[in-house]
């Protein structure tokens, strides 16, 4: 269990719960109960049946023949883009809404950047008939109008975060403030493997269905239950945590994390936290984050809204520092080009986040016999406007 | 003896003021401290601004953002406070989030505080358990008190633990809220103040969050040893300026 969370809530040097005392009772209640609840038979029964009947799992593990031929290696796509609501995000929100119900909570709050996690949260709240409030940066509300409309249509209230830089990190601050103000009846559904312990571990567990299915599917297709490489994009890192989860302790599996270089690592407009971040505290977790020398958290940039978080989850910070994972960063331009490449070579229009992962194929060589699994974490419908602008479609 | 302890010995009820260093203007820190001392304030919390103050309401978020925009930083604040003990003798507490302190270097930060004559720290996002385990020794070495928060949701067992690790005072958050969210206190708060008073803790308690006028100050100090005013003072400062500080303090007690 070298790469999993330890009993104190740390991944090596990273993690923990650096939270104001006012949040302690909420987080402690969750910490004491999350494993027992999620391991219980009744929880698992409901969780698994919703993943199958509602989300549409298992998602296919698709052998990408044309890509494999072109890059002379064996490329598989784990098709999380086929999940209900269009991305892996819903695996976590299903798990957390069931958790919230068992903790007796009747009010849900969430943060969202691009709106994907907000939509996934609004969806499960509608499914369960629970009140839902989503915090979103005022700037993001303007940039992501269709997802705002989706959340509203699903019955959620979208509240604008007006503080700081008015983006994802500020929406997260607002959600945390809401939780401080409503400590008894409210559950906070965090959308990634970030935040105070036990969130990174809980979210990783709910997303671990991705690698559990991959194991079974590889056994069938390749006669062994592990690949040589797993590749995923990392913003906060939830789709990556899900794909890596069951392979973390298997040294035969190489782990590749792909970050957004934005306009270039040294351009001042980037989200490549492993290259630009320093150890610090963001949203209750000790991790790597982008900040000024004075310790003020800076605003990241990527063309993909799902990757522009100024930190990474503590699991990923540990994978980076311990060199268990290989970190590669991909600029906007290459990611956009790969959005087009994947569309035209495999008939799959990926989210721009997801396109970052595939773009490593141009710079990272694999052996012909290597089995490489990419997390095709989300579909590109939400990004059509950006694609249209970029390619003058 | 630490100035905080002296102040509790000298005064039955304390009035303490919080402000964000660097707001309204970058160089206001020392003039504000002088005006507060001259107006009879017993203790001051100097806020080290942070980009993401997640325990604070809109007023302090805004003053922090503005202070940072004005050019405030840890280094700058320490420069401003370099000779502060030539004039200011009331206890001074630095209140800030943990990340800027980490980046400055915790030991270097403590050293600097001691050299300047800072009496203690309040770090809302450094939990008591982690402090106890990793930092208490260091703080003790530099004679710095570290004050912890409790809220109406804090269990009795945890309050006892916090009391056992505390020095200076316990910062009682008046209700389940971020800073600045209340304008009056109701029966729930009075019951909470009474409950804590009845626990007979060895560390004195000071109430903060939501104290804005003479009425809330009186209610807060009925069962505790003092009260901290932050958001209401910052709002006043933004509207009336440093010269009007005595008027604000007179309106409280």
Task: Using the CB atoms, write b or e for A118-153: b if 16+ within 10 Å.
Answer: bbbbbbbbeeeebebbbbbbbbbbebbeebbebbee
**Which of B49, B69, B127, B181 should one mutate to test binding to chain A, selecting the residue with the greatest count of A CBs within 10 A?**
B127
pLDDT of residue B184: 80
Residue with tokens 């401290």: B33
Would you call B102 and A281 a contact, using CB atoms and an 8 Å cutoff? Answer: yes
The CA–CA distances, whole Å, from B214 to B217, B221, B223 equal 5, 11, 15
pLDDT of residue B177: 85
- What the block records as the tokens of B153 is 């949701």
Chain B nearest C-alpha distance from A177 (Å): 6
Active-site residues of A: which are they? Answer: 89, 111, 377
Task: Using the CB atoms, write b or e for A347-378: b if 16+ within 10 Å.
Answer: ebbbbbbbbbbbbbbeeeebeeebbbbbbbbb
pLDDT tens track for B199-233: 999 999 999 999 999 999 999 999 999 999 999 99
- What the block records as the tokens of B45 is 């919390």
* Chain A nearest-CA residue for B72: A294
CA-to-CA distance for A27 and A21, rounded, in angstroms? 10
Position B45 pLDDT exceeds 80 = yes
Assess contact for A294 and B75: CB atoms under 8 A. yes
CA-to-CA distance for A1 and A19, rounded, in angstroms? 26
pLDDT of residue B172: 97
pLDDT of residue A1: 59
Alpha helices in chain A (DSSP H): 24-39, 41-50, 65-71, 89-102, 116-128, 138-143, 145-153, 168-181, 199-207, 209-222, 238-244, 273-276, 314-321, 332-346, 352-358, 384-391
Angle between helices A24-39 and A199-207 (to 10 degrees): 30
Chain A contact set for B59 (CB, 8 A): none
Bond into A58 cis (ω within 30) = yes
Angle between helices A41-50 and A89-102 (to 10 degrees): 140
Mean pLDDT for B68-87 is 98
β-pairing, A254-262 vs A278-282, is: unpaired
| pLDDT band for position B135 (cuts 50, 70, 90) | very high
The rounded average pLDDT for each run of 10 residues, N- to C-terminus, in chain A (393 residues) is 92 97 96 98 98 98 98 98 98 98 98 95 98 95 91 98 88 96 96 98 98 98 98 97 98 98 96 97 98 96 91 98 98 98 98 98 98 98 94 94
pTM: 0.97
Closest CA to B149 of B221, B203, B84, B92: B203
Q: Can you give the length of chain B in residues?
A: 253
Chain B nearest C-alpha distance from A296 (Å): 5
* Chain B nearest-CA residue for A168: B52
pLDDT of residue A374: 99
CA-to-CA distance for A2 and B206, rounded, in angstroms? 44
| pLDDT band for position B182 (cuts 50, 70, 90) | confident
CA-to-CA distance for A103 and B161, rounded, in angstroms? 26
**Which of A25, A295, A299 should one mutate to test binding to chain B, selecting the residue with the greatest count of B CBs within 10 A?**
A295
Q: Cα A162 to chain center, whole Å? A: 24
């Amino acid at each position: 269990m070298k790469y999993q969370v330890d009993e104190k809530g740390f991944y090596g040097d990273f993690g923990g719960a650096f939270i104001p005392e006012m949040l302690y009772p909420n987080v402690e209640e969750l910490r004491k109960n999350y494993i027992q609840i999620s391991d219980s038979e009744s929880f698992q029964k409901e969780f698994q049946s919703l993943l199958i009947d509602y989300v549409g799992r298992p998602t296919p593990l698709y052998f990408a023949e044309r890509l494999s031929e072109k890059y002379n290696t064996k490329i598989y796509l784990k098709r999380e883009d086929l999940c209900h609501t269009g991305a892996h995000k819903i695996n976590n929100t299903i798990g957390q809404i069931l958790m919230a119900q068992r903790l007796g909570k009747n009010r849900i709050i969430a943060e969202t950047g691009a709106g994907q996690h907000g939509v996934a949260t609004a969806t499960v709240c509608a499914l369960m008939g629970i009140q839902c409030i989503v915090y979103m940066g005022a700037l993001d509300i303007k940039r992501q109008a269709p997802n705002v409309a989706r959340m509203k249509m699903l019955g959620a209230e979208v509240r604008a975060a007006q503080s700081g830089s008015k983006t994802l990190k500020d929406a997260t601050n607002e959600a945390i403030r809401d939780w401080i103000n409503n400590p008894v009846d409210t559950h906070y559904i965090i959308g990634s493997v970030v935040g105070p312990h036990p969130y990174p571990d809980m979210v990783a567990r709910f997303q671990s269905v991705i690698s559990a299915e991959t194991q079974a599917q590889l056994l069938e297709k390749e006669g062994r239950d592990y690949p040589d490489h797993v590749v995923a994009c990392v913003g906060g890192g939830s789709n990556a945590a899900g794909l890596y989860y069951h392979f973390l302790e298997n040294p035969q599996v190489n782990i590749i994390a792909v970050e957004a270089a934005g306009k270039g690592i040294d351009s001042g407009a980037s989200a490549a936290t492993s290259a630009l971040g320093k150890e610090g505290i963001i949203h209750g977790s000790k991790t790597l984050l982008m900040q000024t020398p004075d310790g003020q958290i800076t605003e990241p940039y990527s063309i993909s809204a799902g990757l522009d978080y100024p930190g990474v989850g503590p699991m990923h910070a540990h994978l980076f520092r311990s060199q268990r994972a290989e970190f590669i960063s991909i600029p906007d331009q290459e990611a956009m080009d790969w959005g087009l490449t994947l569309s035209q070579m495999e008939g799959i229009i990926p989210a721009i986040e997801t396109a970052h992962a595939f773009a490593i194929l141009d710079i990272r060589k694999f052996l012909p016999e290597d089995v490489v699994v990419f997390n095709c974490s989300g579909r590109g419908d939400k990004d059509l406007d950006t694609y249209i602008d970029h390619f003058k479609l | 003896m630490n100035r905080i302890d002296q102040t509790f010995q000298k005064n039955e009820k304390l009035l303490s003021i919080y402000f964000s260093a660097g707001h309204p203007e970058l160089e206001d820190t020392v003039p504000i401290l002088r005006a507060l001392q001259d107006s009879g304030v017993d203790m001051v919390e100097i806020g080290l601004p942070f980009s993401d103050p997640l325990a604070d309401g809109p007023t302090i978020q805004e003053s922090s953002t503005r202070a940072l925009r004005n050019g405030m930083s840890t280094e700058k604040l320490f420069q401003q406070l370099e000779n502060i003990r030539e004039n200011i003798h009331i206890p001074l507490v630095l209140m800030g989030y943990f990340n800027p302190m980490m980046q400055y270097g915790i030991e270097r930060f403590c050293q600097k505080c001691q050299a300047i004559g800072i009496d203690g720290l309040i770090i809302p996002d450094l939990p008591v358990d982690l402090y106890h385990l990793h930092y208490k020794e260091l703080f003790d070495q530099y004679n710095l008190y570290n004050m912890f928060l409790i809220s109406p949701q804090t269990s009795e067992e945890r309050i006892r633990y916090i009391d056992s690790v505390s020095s200076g005072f316990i910062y009682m958050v008046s209700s389940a809220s971020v800073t600045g969210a209340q304008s009056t206190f109701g029966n729930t708060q009075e019951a909470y103040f009474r409950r804590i008073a009845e626990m007979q803790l060895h560390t004195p308690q000071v109430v903060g969050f939501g104290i804005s006028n003479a009425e809330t100050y009186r209610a807060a100090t009925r069962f505790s040893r003092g009260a901290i005013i932050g958001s209401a003072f910052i709002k006043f400062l933004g509207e009336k300026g440093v010269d009007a500080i005595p008027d604000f303090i007179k309106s409280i007690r």
